[in-house]
């Protein structure tokens, strides 16, 4: 069984862009906001309206309060919003400093503080507009990753259906972990599927006469295949460099008959499910054992929600709100974490069809 301690894959991770994603996000929004606010700055610089000490005090108070306000609220902000809030706060700080120097330069004895109020009012309006747009950012990224994950599952199901059409021998069928040679070690269905997902070279390099953890086959396990990894998951590996897969089939150790040990192999509706909590190396001939996992999709805790690979559910993913599943007809559906466990059990055991998901 693979180790459950995951190490971030620094080679892939972490391209220059990914390593500096926060800085890129902040920089991009600084540029956009600078363009948006530049007309206001120009207008203020060209103003001939006199300023007063009240302007100076208002701006000084805002400059002092801004960093404290951001520091206090930062930990309570959603992770996706932090780069945008930080970028906007930096921009506000710069604008306030420019305004303060402008006030000092043109300071005259007046009783009104209209200049400072105009600056602060402008920043407030822009802040409200940005706040209205923030919720769309994580939704767009999440939707793109979910679509890419669904496409992975569709390609896997397409490969399985092609293999079935070619009437692959039961021992070599890419739907079980049976040995390919008499008395030999088990071979993962993900390895058997390689020729059908345009990875024939890797399949030829895998030695079915040796255990999957042998030195020769472990070199294959170190290869990262995007089709076996959900894009919402961070690129990770175990201590020995083996790459994790997000996708697994469902097994039941109590069913000793029929080598694949599929749950009701002729009736089961779900063929493949996201289950990063199983912590599977993609070449490992192991799947989700229904006897040892919970029949649920909801995260057990907030910590598990942040690190779904620590989940003990039969389905677990890095997508917020649910898990992707591929059905026997080749279709892929997103199962909400609110899905009733009894309905989920009935789907997996083949007692109802996927149409039950659409019933009110």
The pLDDT profile of the chain, 360 residues, written as one tens digit per residue, is: 343 566 665 544 445 655 666 676 666 666 666 665 665 565 556 555 566 677 777 778 888 888 888 788 777 766 656 766 777 777 778 777 777 777 777 665 554 545 555 666 666 666 666 655 555 555 666 777 888 899 999 999 988 888 887 777 777 778 888 888 888 888 999 999 999 988 889 888 998 888 998 889 999 988 888 899 888 888 888 888 889 999 998 877 554 444 444 444 445 678 889 998 888 899 998 888 887 888 888 888 888 888 888 888 888 888 888 899 888 888 898 988 888 888 888 888 777 777 667 665
**CB-count exposure of residue 217 (10 Å: 0-12, 13-18, 19+):** buried
Residues 79 and 158 reside in one and the same domain:
no
Q: Are residues 324 and 188 in the same domain?
A: yes
Shared domain for 184 and 162, answered yes or no, is yes
φ and ψ of 274, to 5 deg:
-65, 125
Q: Around Cβ 187, how many Cβ atoms within 10 Å?
A: 26
Note down the domain range covering 264. Answer: 137-358
Question: Over the stretch 52-83, which tens digit does the pLDDT of each residue have?
Answer: 677 777 778 888 888 888 788 777 766 656 76
Question: What does residue 180 show for φ and ψ, rounded to 5 degrees?
Answer: -90, -20
The residue out of 74, 102, 134 marking a domain boundary is 134
Domain C-terminal end among 90, 108, 134: 134
Q: Domain for residue 3, yes or no?
A: no
Task: Report yes or no on whether pTM surpasses 0.75.
Answer: no
Question: Please, what is the Cα angle at 297 between 293 and 302, to 5 degrees?
Answer: 100
The reply to whether 326 and 339 lie within a common domain is yes
- Domain membership flag for residue 8: no
User: Is the same domain home to 86 and 166?
Assistant: no
Inside any domain, residue 6: no
Q: Are residues 125 and 141 in the same domain?
A: no
Question: Are 173 and 302 contained in the same domain?
Answer: yes
The count of structural domains within the chain is 2
User: Of 134, 161, 183, which closes a domain?
Assistant: 134
């Amino acid at each position: 069984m693979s180790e459950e301690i995951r190490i971030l894959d620094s080679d892939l991770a972490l391209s220059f862009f990914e390593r500096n994603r926060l800085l890129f996000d902040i920089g991009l929004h600084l540029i956009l906001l600078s363009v948006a606010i530049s007309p206001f700055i120009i207008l203020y610089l060209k103003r001939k309206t006199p300023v007063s000490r009240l302007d100076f005090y208002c701006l000084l108070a805002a400059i002092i309060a801004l960093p404290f306000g951001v520091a206090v609220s930062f930990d309570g902000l959603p992770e996706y919003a932090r780069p945008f809030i930080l970028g906007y706060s930096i921009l506000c700080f710069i604008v306030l400093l420019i305004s303060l120097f402008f006030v000092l330069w043109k300071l005259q004895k007046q009783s009104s503080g209209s200049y400072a109020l105009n600056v602060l009012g402008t920043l407030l309006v822009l802040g409200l507009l940005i706040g209205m747009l923030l919720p769309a950012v994580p939704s767009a990224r999440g939707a793109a990753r979910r679509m890419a994950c669904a496409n992975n599952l569709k390609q896997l199901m397409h490969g399985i259906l092609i293999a079935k059409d070619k009437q692959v021998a039961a021992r070599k069928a890419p739907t079980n972990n049976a040995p390919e040679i008499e008395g030999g070690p088990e071979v993962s269905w993900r390895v058997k599927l390689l020729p059908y997902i345009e990875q024939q070279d890797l399949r030829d390099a895998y030695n079915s006469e040796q255990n999957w953890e042998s030195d020769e086959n472990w070199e294959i396990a170190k290869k990262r295949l995007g089709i076996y990894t959900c894009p919402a998951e961070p690129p990770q590996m175990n201590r020995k460099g083996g790459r994790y897969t997000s996708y697994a089939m469902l097994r039941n150790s109590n069913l000793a008959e029929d080598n694949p040990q599929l749950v009701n192999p002729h009736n089961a509706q779900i063929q493949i499910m996201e289950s990063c909590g199983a912590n599977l190396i993609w070449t490992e001939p192991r799947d989700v054992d229904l006897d040892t996992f919970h029949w649920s999709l909801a995260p057990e805790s907030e910590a598990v929600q942040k690190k779904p690979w620590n989940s003990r559910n039969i389905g677990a993913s890095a997508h917020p709100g649910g898990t992707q599943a591929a059905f026997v007809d080749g279709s892929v559906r997103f199962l909400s974490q609110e899905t009733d466990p009894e309905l989920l059990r009935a789907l997996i055991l083949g007692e109802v069809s996927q149409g039950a998901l659409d019933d009110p």
